Amino acid sequence: MWWLFKKKDVKVVQPLSKRLEEAVGRLEVVKSRLSNRVRVLEARNKELFEAIVKAQSERDKERAVMYANELAELRKMLRKAIHSELSLEGVIHRIQTAKDFDEIVDVLTPLKEVLIQVGKDVRGIAPELSGNLNNIMDIFDEVAVQLGTFQETTGVRPSVDEEAEKILAEASTIAAERTKSKLSEVEI
């Protein structure tokens, strides 16, 4: 009889507040790591700029152009990293200020969209952080499921041209007729 109550058979479900605290903690770790990456990129930015100045003063145009191209790419990454860091800070702040579960449901879906975009931006800069963000989005999904209000993230919907709209209208009419005939068969 004791074998019915083995520890592995019991799943402990954490309260929503604990799950959200865990998500906030993980987000703060990701943000901290991203801040460190920003500092490294800023230091490299200064180094490259000084190298460009030095190459210019030595009249080495080829080296200056090479460094300038590298600096341009680095600054693109730096902008994305800073934007991602600020976005994460906003997500953390928004979660912390959400007072009741009704508001949390309304907040999680847009925040998940922000995290998806940050994950895409960070993927090339710090791939390990992108994986951490995916884990955090899983926590958001679990919270939404526990609240019973799981919402799909909004995505790009396929565009529909005129011909496709006609086909959809025709299919809708046929589907309605078939449903009507099935309902009439059940009533008989």
The token pair that represents 177 in the structure block = 């007729």
Q: In terms of pTM, does the model score above 0.85?
A: no
What integer pLDDT is reported at residue 130 of this predicted model?
80
The confidence score (pLDDT) of residue 155 equals: 45
Q: Residue 34: what pLDDT? A: 93
What pLDDT score was predicted for residue 186? Answer: 54
- Residues 95 and 183 reside in one and the same domain: no
The pLDDT value given to residue 157: 44
Which residue range forms the structural domain that includes residue 174?
Answer: 158-188
H-type alpha helices, 148-161: none
The whole-number pLDDT of residue 154 equals 46
Same domain, 169 and 120: no
Is residue 35 domain-shared with residue 65, that is, in the same domain? yes
- Residue 136 CA: distances (Å) to CA of 53, 58, 109, 121, 160: 43, 50, 13, 16, 34
Which residues of the chain have a pLDDT value below 70?
1-15, 98-103, 105, 147-169, 171-172, 175-176, 179-180, 182-188
Query: Does residue 178 share a domain with residue 98?
Result: no
Question: CA torsion sign, 52 to 55 to 61 to 67?
Answer: negative
Q: What is the per-residue pLDDT for 156?
A: 41
Helix (H, G, I), strand (E, B) or coil at 12: coil
Distance between CA atoms of 104 and 98, rounded to whole angstroms?
6
Total domains, the chain:
2
